[in-house]
């Protein structure tokens, strides 16, 4: 399962970029240019101020050692050119050296502080990556009698987990898949995502009925809402009473069918041959967290044919509601109709590329999708857990 950004996360000069390379070369270009002028017949030109910024420029991309080396090189160049031009004793030379010394000291302090911040940021990112991988785990590519793949694109810069959630599990009841969309963004949405996923991962292995798994997810969400109401100001959702999750549960048993329970979520798509069919729920149900609107209608699993060679695509509304600069929606069925019968991983990669091209690389909402392909009987796969 790939988790990708909708926008670039960088706000600093990134190593390896063209800007980084130019910034790293610039101090040496300035020093070479000054020495070349001072040793030429054009030495009457006033070049001293061009050496002074060299350490500051080096501090943008180098550590304290590199910055100190550039400062020493600039100082040596200034002394060498002053000796060559017999300029010692003039106030201009001493003023240039004094300015170079002050800028060098300031640059060394700045470079050391920047290096420390980068180490701290790298440490925080490693911790965040591990934490996010615990919340959104990779989709297994091999399952009992099926193959699967998925992709997640976070709209928030630098994020790999947002308001969308997914999970694919091999259980004694068959393959069970959860795809959902949490209302809101930021840390409250991540907390809700973790609560619902935790409940699904536990209930999927013990609840025989798919509707009961959804009930367990609903209960976990309600507990999270009550907990969020007790959080200090500013750390919980804006309005816990309006916290809800659209969710879709799918179960792929050994029989050539798929069972679905949807709570306000976009219907999945069934890809069969060259056709695309939407598996609409007969009785629409409200999202998780809005159980008061259920009334006396119990949530029941609906069954649809799902034969070998067919593929099931579950997605969030961030996919179909993605807009291009002209505000046109991303037409997922049309894009799917033009794709070949590729493996699930290739299929999600093609959809991801088409989606990012449609929005010109900038998503307004998180987007996630999971593809499950039923394989022919006898195809080797990972055995189901007991």
203-233 pLDDT per residue, tens: 999 999 999 999 999 999 989 888 877 766 5
Contact 263, 285 (CB under 8 A): yes
Question: Residue 204: CB partners within 8 Å, gap ≥ 6?
Answer: 169, 171, 173, 176, 178, 213
Contact 283, 346 (CB under 8 A): no
Q: What top-level class would CATH report for the domain 139-374?
A: alpha beta
What pLDDT is recorded for position 213?
Answer: 96
Condensed to tens digits (0 to 9), the pLDDT of residues 73-96 reads: 888 887 887 777 776 777 777 787
Give 1's pLDDT tier (boundaries 50, 70, 90): very low
Residue with token string 């911790």: 127
Q: What are phi and psi of 366, to 5 degrees?
A: -60, 150
Residue extent(s) of CATH 3.60.40.10 domains in the chain: 139-374
d(CA 189, CA 318): 15
What pLDDT is recorded for position 57?
Answer: 84
3-state secondary structure of 58: helix
Mean pLDDT of 146-155: 89
What pLDDT is recorded for position 6?
Answer: 41
Distance of CA 205 to the CA centre of its chain: 29
d(CA 9, CA 309): 39
Q: In whole numbers, what is the pLDDT of the chain averaged over residues?
A: 82
3-state secondary structure of 302: strand
Beta bridge partners of 167: 178
Nearest alpha-carbon partner for 54 in 33, 79, 85, 81: 33
Give 339's pLDDT tier (boundaries 50, 70, 90): confident
Q: In the structure encoding, which two tokens stand for residue 318, read together? A: 């961030």
Higher pLDDT: 126 or 121? It is: 121
Q: Which run of H or of E encompasses 149?
A: strand 146-154
């Amino acid at each position: 399962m790939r988790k990708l950004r909708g926008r670039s996360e960088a706000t600093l000069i990134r190593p390896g970029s063209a800007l980084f390379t130019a910034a790293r070369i610039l101090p040496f270009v300035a020093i070479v240019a000054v020495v070349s002028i001072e040793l030429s017949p054009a030495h009457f030109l006033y070049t001293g101020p061009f050496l002074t910024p060299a350490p500051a420029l080096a501090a943008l991309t180098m550590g304290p050692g590199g910055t100190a080396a550039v400062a020493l090189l600039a100082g040596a160049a200034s002394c060498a050119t002053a000796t060559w031009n017999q300029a010692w004793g003039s106030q201009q030379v001493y003023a240039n050296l004094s300015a170079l010394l002050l800028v060098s000291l300031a640059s060394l302090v700045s470079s050391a502080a920047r290096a420390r911040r980068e180490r701290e940021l790298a440490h925080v990112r490693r911790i965040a990556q591990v934490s996010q991988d615990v919340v959104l785990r990779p989709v297994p590519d091999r399952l009992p009698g099926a193959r699967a793949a998925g992709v997640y694109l976070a709209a928030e810069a630098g994020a790999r987990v947002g308001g969308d959630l997914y999970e694919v599990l091999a259980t004694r009841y068959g393959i069970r898949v959860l795809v959902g969309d949490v209302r809101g963004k930021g840390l409250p949405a991540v907390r809700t995502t973790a609560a619902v996923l935790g409940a699904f991962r536990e209930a999927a292995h013990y609840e025989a009925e798919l509707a009961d798994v959804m009930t367990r997810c609903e209960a976990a969400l309600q507990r999270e809402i009550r907990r969020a109401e007790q959080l200090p100001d500013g750390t919980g959702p804006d309005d816990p009473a309006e916290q809800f999750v659209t969710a879709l549960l799918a179960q792929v048993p050994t029989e050539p069918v798929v069972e679905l329970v949807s709570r306000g979520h976009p219907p999945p798509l069934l890809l069969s041959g060259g056709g695309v069919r939407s598996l609409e729920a007969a009785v629409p149900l409200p999202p998780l967290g809005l159980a008061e609107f259920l009334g006396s209608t119990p949530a029941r699993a609906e069954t649809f044919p799902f034969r070998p060679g067919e593929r099931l695509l579950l997605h969030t509304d961030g996919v179909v509601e993605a807009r291009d600069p002209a505000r046109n929606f991303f037409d997922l069925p049309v894009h799917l109709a033009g794709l070949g019968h590729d493996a699930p991983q290739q299929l999600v990669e093609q959809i991801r590329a088409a989606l990012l091209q449609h929005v010109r690389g900038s998503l307004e909402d998180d987007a996630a999708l999971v593809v499950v392909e039923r394989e022919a009987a006898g195809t080797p796969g990972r055995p189901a857990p007991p």
